[in-house]
């Protein structure tokens, strides 16, 4: 085997190291240290990169750097029709694919001025809530793993796997679902799916309690989170935090209640809030939200009406595949929608929905053609990350891990 | 409906000559103002006791490509107290494309303005830290401008060097 | 129990050195989870109780490149990220393998845009491409098994000329 060069014996390398002027070792104890964290780091939830300035172990300042997953979503949207873009919304917040699907089609429907049938809206609600549970399962699992409880991620993924099985049946794909359509949903939820949801919910409560018992009986977990990363109510609002992170700071703002979309106004649920605004509150709130989602899902299953799942609006809504091949009218409409698009009126709308991470907003500018002139995605993770440098200031370096986990960013939508 | 009229009225009273247009499409109220007044309008909207638009949810730009006033800056702001979304727009009429930053009013606007600068090349004056948000430093173009191709400009972004 | 039941005295096996090294190497492939986007979640799913990548000796996800011999590139690689991926690859000790997980890494996938590298094979030697967006966990497990087959065919002396870690490349 070839002799490897050794830093200590190889003269050339050693001299080069000595000649390196970037390293100063005059007084190692007095110097502040700048360290790099990420973009490849197990605790940064993807490809977030932080540059930290440290004094010993205390964080003096944090500069997040984004863009390692910038895929050009908004540019691509300008080049494709409204229907073509649905699969792209899956990959925004990839832990809660169906929530994104629902938010996007609702934004387009607001622009078009159409509404999906009631059953479709109920199915969307069911899908979004299941997706919320799935997203929070990832959030709680990876959060606990970051602060040292590796077992947790196995338990939460076991539950998540059951939800993905339901998606497999409902949408035909377990992960990137692309299930919703403009004016409805891709396929009806048959009785088998509804039974699967019911069975899942029935056993979910006990496993959720089990998870809580595992974590909250653990002193290390509590002590690493309690009182860490506190953000005040005023700061949270000023920095534009939304979702669980805002509610854990004591602001009762949930779009499902504030501006009810779908049929959330017919559903009875609580909005959990905590006043503390620390990492532990951000853990509790996710658990509570999952419990509320379970309550919502039971009601949705009870109230699910019968009927169509696609709106009857041939100029904007794609006809069913079986009809395209047997009826002339439908064939023409299909051809027009696919080739020329759905041509919404000229104007701009902003629609936002409550996603697991916060407020996902779509700002669409239409110039009357089949493609949007401009599509802006207001992604919650991006805004939540903005608070990071404020929260981390003065914390210990080990707290930074807990704080990132508690803010729960998903880089897919933060970088877009 | 009542709050919508209140906002319009208050704005018109306070800034009678700076409000260019008020539109209401699909129940979204949007106000087009002159770009010089953006910070004043923002301060007023935030501090007024009845309105209290304390949260800036989003800032972006629209590139109209062929129009003389090429860029429109769009602000989505939100009043928690009144549960109301308002959209403020301001047209940029000539080069250099520049507008006053609103970070002094809404600290959360910081990253949105950086993002808009990165994507459109609009300069926000008095911004504390106007760097690119997503694209690497040294990248010369602004991708969301309409004259930038979707597939990018070959050679503008380097691939890593492969050492054998 | 299997073979042990037949043993009355101390047993021995004859085999070639190549076979035993390849067998040991293939049964303990430690992946470097280069989790970038959506595929990362499915990669965790592959290691979760239902799919259980541990059956193939590959559940030891190590986040430091020095301890890994298989890089699973899971997710869209942008130009900015490509520099990082390549640097981490350079820091992995030889011998090493690469799985391109999903459509994005294999070919750019649905992202025909200015900032996405259209296939990581432009700057990385890829051993196995995995289809799907994202691939199901079964598919990832299949990719790991394919790597294992590839490793089982190697001979120990195939790697004798390669330095364990090239300091020149690892530094860059």
Can you read off the two tokens belonging to residue A26? 């005059």
User: How much is the pLDDT for A1?
Assistant: 43
Strand boundaries in chain B, DSSP class E: 19-25, 28-33, 55-63, 71-79, 84-92, 98-100, 123-125
The secondary structure of A219-243 as a DSSP string is HHHHHHHTT-S---HHHHHHTT--T
**Torsion on CA atoms A340, A374, A357, A169, rounded to nearest 10:** 10
Contact A239 B58 (CB under 8 A): no
User: How much is the pLDDT for A9?
Assistant: 52
User: How much is the pLDDT for A66?
Assistant: 87
Domain tally, chain A: 1
User: How much is the pLDDT for A365?
Assistant: 92
Residue A23 domain flag: no
- Residues in CB range of A344: below 8 A, 6 or more apart: A82, A108, A111, A112, A366, A368
E strand or H helix at A136, and its extent?
helix A118-146
pLDDT in tens, chain A (416 residues): 455 555 445 566 556 656 666 655 555 556 678 888 878 887 777 788 888 888 878 888 888 888 888 988 899 998 888 988 999 998 888 888 999 999 999 999 999 889 899 999 999 999 999 999 999 999 999 888 888 888 888 889 889 999 999 999 888 888 888 889 888 888 888 889 999 999 999 999 888 888 888 888 888 888 888 888 889 988 888 888 888 999 999 888 999 888 888 889 888 999 999 988 888 999 999 999 999 999 999 999 998 899 888 888 888 888 888 888 888 888 998 888 888 888 889 989 999 999 999 999 999 999 888 889 999 999 999 988 888 888 888 888 888 888 998 888 888 888 88
Contact C42 A175 (CB under 8 A): yes
Q: How many CB atoms lie within 10 A of CB A374?
A: 22
| Closest CA–CA distance from residue C107 to any residue of chain A (Å) | 14
C2-49 pLDDT per residue, tens: 777 777 777 788 888 888 888 888 888 888 888 888 888 888 888 888
| Range with the poorest average pLDDT among A29-43, A235-249, B76-90, C135-149 | A29-43
Q: Which residues pair with B87 in a beta bridge?
A: B30, B76
Helices (H), A304-410: 321-324, 328-340, 380-386, 388-392, 397-407
B23-54 pLDDT per residue, tens: 888 888 889 998 888 898 899 888 888 888 88
SS3 B106: coil
A165: closest chain C residue by CA: C50
B159: closest chain C residue by CA: C79
User: How much is the pLDDT for A132?
Assistant: 92
Contact A69 C164 (CB under 8 A): no
Residue A261 domain flag: yes
Can you read off the two tokens belonging to residue A367? 């110039």
- Spatial distance between the Cα atoms of A281 and A260, rounded to a whole number of angstroms: 25
Residue A63 domain flag: no
Residue A35 domain flag: no
- Residues in CB range of A195: below 8 A, 6 or more apart: none
ipTM at complex level: 0.93
Per-residue confidence at B160, pLDDT binned at 50, 70, 90? confident
Stretch B122-150: mean pLDDT: 88
B77: closest chain A residue by CA: A240
Q: C167 — contact with chain A (CB < 8 Å)? A: yes
B9: Cα separation from own chain's centroid = 23
Residue tagged 């540019």 (tokens): A75
Contact C63 A161 (CB under 8 A): no
| Closest CA–CA distance from residue C104 to any residue of chain B (Å) | 15
Angle at alpha carbon of residue A203, lines to A201 and A204, rounded to 5°: 60
| Closest CA–CA distance from residue C166 to any residue of chain B (Å) | 10
- Spatial distance between the Cα atoms of B101 and B110, rounded to a whole number of angstroms: 8
- Spatial distance between the Cα atoms of A96 and A175, rounded to a whole number of angstroms: 9
Q: C79 — contact with chain B (CB < 8 Å)? A: yes
Can you read off the two tokens belonging to residue A92? 């925004």
- Which percentage of chain C shows pLDDT scores above 70? 94
Going from the N-terminus, what domains does chain C have, and what CATH number goes with each? Answer: 28-155+163-171 (3.40.50.12280)
Q: How many CB atoms lie within 10 A of CB B83?
A: 13
SS3 A349: strand
| Closest CA–CA distance from residue B158 to any residue of chain C (Å) | 7
User: How much is the pLDDT for A104?
Assistant: 92
A78: closest chain C residue by CA: C113
Cβ-based contacts under 8 A for chains B and C: 44
Stretch B113-133: mean pLDDT: 89
Can you read off the two tokens belonging to residue A151? 């077992």
Q: Are A83 and C93 in contact (CB under 8 A)?
A: no
Q: Which residues of C touch B153 (CB under 8 A)?
A: 114
- For the stretch A63-66, contacts whose Cβ atoms lie closer than 8 Å and that sit 24 or more positions apart, written own/partner, are A63/A389, A64/A385, A64/A388, A64/A389, A65/A39, A66/A382, A66/A385, A66/A411, A66/A414, A66/A415, A66/B133, A66/B134
Q: Mind spelling out the 3-state secondary structure of chain C? A: CHHHHHCCCCCCCCCCHHHHHHHHHHCCCCEEEEECCHHHHHHHHHHCCCCCHHHHCCCCCCCCHHHCCEEEEECCCEHHHHHHHHHHHHHCCCCCEEEEEHHHHHHCCCCCCCCECCCHHHCCCCCEEECCCCCCHHHHHHHHHHHHHHHHCCCHHHHCCCCCCCHHHHHC
Going from the N-terminus, what domains does chain B have, and what CATH number goes with each? Answer: 2-125 (3.30.460.80)
Contact B106 A382 (CB under 8 A): no
Residue A87 domain flag: yes
User: How much is the pLDDT for A15?
Assistant: 64
E strand or H helix at A358, and its extent?
strand A358-366
Per-residue confidence at B140, pLDDT binned at 50, 70, 90? confident
Between the CA of residue A158 and those of A142, A207, B53, B58, what are the distances in Å?
13, 10, 43, 37
User: How much is the pLDDT for A300?
Assistant: 92
User: How much is the pLDDT for C6?
Assistant: 77
Q: Which residues of A touch C49 (CB under 8 A)?
A: 154, 157-158, 161
Residue A26 domain flag: no
User: How much is the pLDDT for C168?
Assistant: 62
Stretch B110-124: mean pLDDT: 90
User: How much is the pLDDT for C146?
Assistant: 92
Q: What is the CATH number of the domain that holds A118?
A: 1.10.645.10
| Domain containing residue A184 | 73-415
- Residues in CB range of A170: below 8 A, 6 or more apart: A127, A177, A179, A187, A189, A193
C82/C94: higher pLDDT: C82
E strand or H helix at B131, and its extent?
none
Q: B144 — contact with chain C (CB < 8 Å)? A: no
Contact A239 B107 (CB under 8 A): yes
SS3 B75: strand
Residue A8 domain flag: no
């Amino acid at each position: 085997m070839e002799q490897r060069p050794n830093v200590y014996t190889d003269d050339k390398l050693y001299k080069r190291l000595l000649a390196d002027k970037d390293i100063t070792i005059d007084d190692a104890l007095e110097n502040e240290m700048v360290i790099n964290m990420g973009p490849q780091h197990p605790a940064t939830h993807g490809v977030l990169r932080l540059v930290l300035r440290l004094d010993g172990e205390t964080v003096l300042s944090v500069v997040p750097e984004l863009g390692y997953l910038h895929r050009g979503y908004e540019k691509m949207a300008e080049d494709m029709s409204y229907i073509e873009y649905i699969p792209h919304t899956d990959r925004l917040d990839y832990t809660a694919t169906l929530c994104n699907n629902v938010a996007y089609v609702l934004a387009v429907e607001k622009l078009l001025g159409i509404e999906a049938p009631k059953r479709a809206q109920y199915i969307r609600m069911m899908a979004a809530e299941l997706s919320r549970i799935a997203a929070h399962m990832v959030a709680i699992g990876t959060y606990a793993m970051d602060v040292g409880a590796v077992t947790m991620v196995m338990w939460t993924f076991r539950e998540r796997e059951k939800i993905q099985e339901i998606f497999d049946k409902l949408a035909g794909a377990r992960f990137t679902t692309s299930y919703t359509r403009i004016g409805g949903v891709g396929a009806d939820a048959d009785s088998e799916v509804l039974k699967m949801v019911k069975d899942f919910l029935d056993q979910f409560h006990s496993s959720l309690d089990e998870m809580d018992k595992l974590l909250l009986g653990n002193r290390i977990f509590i002590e690493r989170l309690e009182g860490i990363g506190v953000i005040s109510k005023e700061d949270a609002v000023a920095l534009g935090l939304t979702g669980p992170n805002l509610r854990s700071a004591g602001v009762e703002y949930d779009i499902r209640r504030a501006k009810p979309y779908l049929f959330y106004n017919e559903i009875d649920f609580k909005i959990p809030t905590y006043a503390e605004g620390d990492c532990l509150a951000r853990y509790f709130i996710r658990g509570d939200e999952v419990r509320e989602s379970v309550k919502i899902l039971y009601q949705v299953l009870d109230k699910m009406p019968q009927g169509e799942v696609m709106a009857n609006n041939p100029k904007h809504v794609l006809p069913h595949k079986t009809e395209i091949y047997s009826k002339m009218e439908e064939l023409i409409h299909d051809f027009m929608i696919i080739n020329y698009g759905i041509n919404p009126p000229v104007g701009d709308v902003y629609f936002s929905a409550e996603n697991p991470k916060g407020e996902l907003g779509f700002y669409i500018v239409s110039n009357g053609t089949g493609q949007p002139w401009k599509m802006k995605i207001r992604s919650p993770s991006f805004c939540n990350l903005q608070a990071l440098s404020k929260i981390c200031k003065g914390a210990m370096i080990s707290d930074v891990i807990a704080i990132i986990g508690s803010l729960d960013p998903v880089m897919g939508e933060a970088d877009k | 409906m009542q709050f919508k009229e209140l906002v319009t009225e208050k704005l018109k009273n306070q800034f009678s000559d700076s409000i260019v247009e008020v539109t209401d499409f699909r129940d979204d109220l949007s106000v087009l103002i002159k770009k010089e007044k953006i910070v004043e309008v923002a301060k007023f909207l935030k501090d007024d006791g009845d309105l209290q638009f304390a949260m800036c949810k989003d800032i972006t730009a629209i590139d109209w490509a062929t129009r003389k006033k090429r860029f429109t800056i769009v602000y989505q702001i939100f009043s928690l107290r009144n549960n109301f979304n308002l959209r403020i727009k301001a047209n940029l009429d000539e080069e250099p494309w520049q507008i006053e930053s609103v970070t002094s009013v809404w600290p959360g606007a910081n990253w949105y303005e950086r993002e808009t600068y990165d994507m459109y090349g609009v300069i926000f004056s008095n911004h504390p830290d106007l760097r690119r948000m997503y694209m690497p430093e040294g990248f010369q173009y602004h991708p969301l401008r309409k004259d930038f191709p979707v597939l990018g400009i070959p050679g503008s972004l380097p691939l890593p060097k492969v050492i054998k | 129990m299997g073979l042990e039941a037949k043993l009355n005295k101390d047993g021995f096996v004859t085999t070639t050195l190549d076979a035993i090294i390849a067998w040991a190497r293939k049964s303990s492939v430690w992946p470097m989870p280069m989790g970038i986007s959506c595929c990362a979640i499915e990669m965790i799913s592959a290691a979760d109780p239902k799919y259980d990548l541990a059956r193939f000796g590959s559940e030891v996800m190590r986040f430091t490149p020095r301890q890994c011999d298989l890089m699973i590139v899971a997710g869209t690689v942008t130009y900015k990220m490509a520099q990082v991926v390549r640097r981490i690859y350079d820091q992995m000790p030889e011998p090493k393998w690469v799985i391109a997980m999903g459509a994005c890494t294999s070919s750019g996938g649905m992202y025909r845009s200015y900032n996405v590298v259209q296939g990581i094979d432009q700057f990385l030697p890829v051993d196995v491409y995995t289809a799907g967006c994202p691939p199901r966990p079964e598919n990832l497990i299949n990719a790991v098994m394919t790597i294992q087959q590839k490793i089982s065919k190697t001979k120990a002396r195939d790697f004798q000329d390669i330095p364990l870690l090239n300091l020149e490349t690892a530094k860059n």
